[in-house]
Structure formats: structure tokens, C-alpha cells
Amino acid sequence: MIRKVTIEELLTAYPAIPCVDVRAPSEFEQGHIPGACSLPIFSNEERAQVGTTYKQQGHDAAVLLGFDITGPKWSGFIRQALDYAPDKKIAIHCWRGGMRSGAMAWALDFYGFEVLVVTGGYKTYRNWVLSQFEKTYALQLIGGMTGSGKTTLLHALADKEEQVIDLEELAQHKGSTYGTMNRLVQPTQEQFENNLAARLSGFDRERRIWMEDESSMIGRCLIPRPIWKQMREAALINITIPFEQRVQALVQEYGCLDKTFLAECTQRIWKRLGPEQTQQAVTAIQEDRMSDFVKEVLGYYDKTYTTGLNRRLPGTTLSADFTDTDSSKQALQVLALMSKHEQQRR
């Protein structure tokens, strides 16, 4: 049986049904529905060949070429679909809900699958993604200078059943010049947006959603402008911890990384850091004086953060001085501070 569903129906009524994306691998890599599986009808080269035939010879010639290419593949498609959906219930989409998803749906239906075909395909999904960023959310930000433990605090808030989005996790980047940690691979901008929209759509918009105060760019990933605007207007709790505590936290996080990586990253910001401080920082890395390296670069990052903090709207910044290193207790302190702030605004 084949049934057409909207993207909203797929995401809300059928979230447990495996979703397969039959577009070419390059299209899938550029961006896909989070959790979807790739089951490409055409390889990248085959897709280009069919597209060229369509432009030069028309619809009928392209369709015949498509069947010539896929003829030997159909049993493989069915076997792979069975791996994804052994109970024979599956959702399918291509770019616009056209020939590729139609052909795959026909084959799987013939084999005995219950098939949902997404109306409008991935193009409609992308419109849904962008629409999520136009909604209003009850955002609350955690701010603080580098090494303050903002990410750890976010996770502690999540443990207390608060709604939390870790933007750095979604972007696979720590936000600084060292942000890849010499191992993280960032998603495409499109996939970053897809992942963020998926998280936002799963939350209650009437409840607080905690995020870390970020620059508009996290590595190569740009926070969508409507969300970024809401972040700039949201209340921010600026956490402070002793300088030496921040230094030790950063030494523990970054000190074990490859020295060549750290030196190259440091040299990329020499114009902002200054030639003398850059050389001192690189020398400290080479001599394994990680505390000195961290102190050299913190001067730049602290100044940058302070500048951004001073640009926020008046009355939107609250302060939380942490003397306890227990993140669970820090979370309780933050929640109490935010509750008091909300009561005063009523």
C-alpha cells in the first residue's frame, strides 16, 4: 500500500517509521532529515547523466535511461530497505516527491511494503525547517568567559529536566580557533539548520529553552538570523568563576591536544592576539607550559567576550558568581536566579 503524507504528518504522526532518502549521495551529504537513511536510486554520476539526458532529449529519454541504469539494482534496493525496515513499514522521499520516490515506492509496494511517500519531498522539508526559525521561543542564555564551564552547566540543567540545546554539539565545534579539537568534523550549514530545527520542534515553546551565548558563527556554521536575533534579546546569566580555575579547566580540555595543531591555530589569530603574545603562546606550547599558553590567549578571548557582553540590551544580563564547582549545585543557583528575575518582571 502506498500513501502520501505531509512532512508535518511524517514528523509528528510517524516518527518511529524508518525514513529513506532516495536522492543521490551528494544530495544526502549536503543535507537530510535527521535520522533518515540513504538509499540512493542513482549515484552522483548517474544522476548527472540522467539530468543531462532530460535537458537534451526530454522526459521520455531520461526515464528510459533511468530504468536502464537501475534495472539490475532493484533487488538490492529491496534488500537494503528490509535492513532499514524489517517490519516492511517505511517512508520515502526524494527532492520534490517526484519520479525517484515514486519509482522506489512502486517497487517496495510490489514487494509488500507499507509505503509512506512524503509530499513535496526534501524541498518541502527545507521549507518546514526555515519556518521553525520564524517562531518565537522562550530562550535563556548561559554566558561566561572562556573556560567558565558553560557546556557542563547546560548538561546539568538538562539533567534537571530543563529544555537545553547545545549549539556547539550541533555544530561539532567549540566556537574558538581551536574549536575542531583536531578531530571534530562540522556538518554543512544546511545540515546544521536541519539538526537545530529538529531540536527546536521537539520542545514546548512555552517553557524555557537554555542555550549557550555564542557568536553568530560557530566555526563555519551560521546560527539562523531569526534565532540569533532572539538570542541577542534573551535574558543572559553571566557566570563567573576564578581565573585560575578557568585556566586549569582549559589546560585539562586542550592541553592534551597535538602541539602542532595548537600552534597552527594560535598563529591563525596572530593579528588579533598580537605578534609578541602569539610568539609567547607558541613557545609555551612547544615547551609544554600549557598554563602559560592558556593565559596568553585568554587575554584576547576575555576582551572579545566583554565587548560582546557590553553590546547586549540593558537589563538583559544577570550575574551568577560560582564558588562551588559542583555543576548540579550551579544549575540550582542559575534556576533560582532566573525564577527570581521572572517574578520581578511580572
Where in the sequence numbering do the catalytic residues fall?
94
Query: Are residues 32 and 21 in contact, defined by beta-carbon separation less than 8 angstroms?
Result: yes
Find all residues with CB under 8 Å of 218, minimum gap 6, and list them: 167, 168, 171, 173, 175, 179
Find all residues with CB under 8 Å of 71, minimum gap 6, and list them: none
How many CB atoms sit inside 10 A of residue 323's CB? 11
Nearest to 46 by CA among 27, 29, 66, 21: 66
CA end-to-end span of the chain, whole Å?
54
Residue recorded with cell 563555519: 220
Residue recorded with cell 505531509: 6
CA distance 10 to 125: 10
Q: State the pairing for strand pair 89-93/19-21.
A: parallel
- Which conformational region is residue 59 in: left (phi greater than 0), alpha (psi within -120 to 50 degrees), or beta? alpha
Residue 48 backbone phi and psi in degrees, to 5 = -65, -40
CA 27 from centre of chain: 18
